[in-house]
Amino acid sequence: MKKLIAANWKMNFTLSEAREFVLQLLQKSQEHTEILEKAEFLICAPYVFLSALSEYSKQGVVSFGGQNCSVHDKGAYTGEISAGMLKDVGCSHVIVGHSERREYHKEDNILVNEKAKAVHQNGLSAIICVGESRKEREANLQEEVIERQLFESVPKNAIPENTIIAYEPVWAIGTGKTPSPEDAGQMHSFIRAFLTKNYSQGEKMRILYGGSMNSGNAEKLLTTPNIDGGLIGTASLKFEEFFGVAQCA
Ligand code: PGA
């Protein structure tokens, strides 16, 4: 399975900066075609850039995704964007349940599950995020917390074609701290065991690691069993850093 190197740009960049990043990615990938044998690129960009950027997916190097979506298909939901709209502008993926959505927008597992279903119904792939807080890690509750998040957030009929799990310890996001590759590996095997037990083809579902991944720590993380790629925030805002992560794959 190729590693999925996914950027989560969050609320950053102008459209011209975004275009420039993508053009650089296309050019560099042409110079290093060996990378595309091992890695696939995905960029989860702010909604307003997606229609313009998805034109670049035609070359087969990079796909595009949203960072959130509504549970509804259409209607009187001012300010919301549906999964169908994301599909219509060329997206293939949607992140749901990112810890920043869970924290700042009070999204809970049940809502995340409904969003993932909306993504599935529109034929897209949901990247469902889970992760424990610092307090929970300190109390050694990470497995319990993740198990509950998975159980409640991942729709029962999820399959590898429409679902990717992103394990993102909240204390590692944007902090420069990461779990050791051993600790990350332990959580990824725990998630793998849960998926294998509870989902058909759970053994094939991709599990990404997210939380301060960069070109310096990616090699160790990406060679750890059951880490099938990365969801990259801060390091996805500098092209060289982001491409450096892919080179580690
Ligand atoms: P980070 O963000 O790489 O800046 O830690 C990852 C994420 O929030 O998905």
Alpha carbon of 116 to those of 50, 167, 202, 226, 230: distances in Å? 19, 16, 16, 22, 19
106 Cα to the center of ligand 1, angstroms: 19
**Whose alpha carbon is nearest atom 1 of ligand 1?**
233
pLDDT in tens, 80-124: 999 999 999 999 999 999 999 999 999 999 999 999 999 999 999
Largest CA distance in the chain: 47
- The answer, as to whether pTM is greater than 0.95, is yes
Give pLDDT, residue 178: 95
CATH number at residue 237: 3.20.20.70
Give pLDDT, residue 141: 98
55 Cα to the center of ligand 1, angstroms: 25
Contacts 24+ apart (CB under 8 A), 140-148: 142/169, 142/187, 143/187, 143/190, 146/187, 146/190, 146/191, 146/194, 147/190, 147/194, 148/109
Q: What is the spatial distance between Cα 205 and Cα 221, in angstroms, rounded to a whole number?
A: 18
118 Cα to the center of ligand 1, angstroms: 24
Does residue 6 have its Cβ closer than 6 Å to ligand 1? no
Tally of domains in the chain: 1
Q: What is the spatial distance between Cα 4 and Cα 2, in angstroms, rounded to a whole number?
A: 6
Does residue 232 have its Cβ closer than 6 Å to ligand 1? yes
Does residue 211 have its Cβ closer than 6 Å to ligand 1? yes
Active site residue 98: yes
Give average pLDDT by consecutive 10-residue segment, the chain, 249 residues.
Answer: 97 98 97 95 98 96 98 98 98 98 98 98 98 97 98 98 98 96 97 97 98 97 98 98 96
Contact 209, 245 (CB under 8 A): no
Atom of ligand 1 nearest to the CA of 231: 9
Q: Which domain covers residue 106, as residue numbers?
A: 3-248
Give pLDDT, residue 17: 98
